[in-house]
């Protein structure tokens, strides 16, 4: 995937999730702290700092909704719910392990 196509995907995804709520289930987006913030901040280039984006997310009242949305939809890029893609992968693994432990208990 080229950098340009990734950028186009990233920006349209962010606009989709934050700026254009399509159902009551996604009305939480209207309360997002990142409304009006430069979308590129949430999709830093590989190796770039995520600190500023996470700072915006820190005080966001819909952080959990955002994170669960990203996990449910397998969002692979960007900061969602204050977590990077690597942090979301780790959380997904932890939840899967926890579910396996419950199933075998």
DSSP one-letter code for 44? P
Minimum CB separation of residue 104 from ligand SF4 in Å reads 33
User: Which residues are near ligand SF4 by CB under 6 A?
Assistant: 32-34, 42, 56-57, 60, 62-63, 66, 79-82
What number of other Cβ atoms are within 10 A of residue 67's Cβ? Answer: 20
Instruction: For residues 70 and 78, give the distance between their C-alpha atoms in angstroms, rounded to a whole number.
Output: 10
Minimum CB separation of residue 75 from ligand SF4 in Å reads 10
Minimum CB separation of residue 34 from ligand SF4 in Å reads 3
Angle at 4 between CA 70 and CA 58, to 5 degrees: 35
Q: Is the Cβ of residue 13 or residue 79 nearer to ligand SF4 in the bound state?
A: 79
């Amino acid at each position: 995937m080229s950098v340009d196509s990734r950028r186009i995907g990233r920006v349209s995804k962010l606009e989709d999730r934050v700026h254009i709520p399509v159902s009551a289930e996604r009305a939480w987006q209207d309360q997002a702290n990142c409304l009006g913030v430069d979308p590129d901040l949430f999709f830093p280039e590989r190796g770039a700092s995520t600190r500023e984006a996470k700072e915006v997310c820190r005080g966001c009242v819909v952080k959990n909704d955002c994170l669960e949305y990203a996990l449910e939809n397998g969002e692979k890029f960007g900061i969602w719910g204050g977590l990077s893609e690597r942090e979301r992968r780790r959380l997904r693994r932890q939840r899967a392990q926890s579910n396996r432990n419950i199933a075998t208990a």
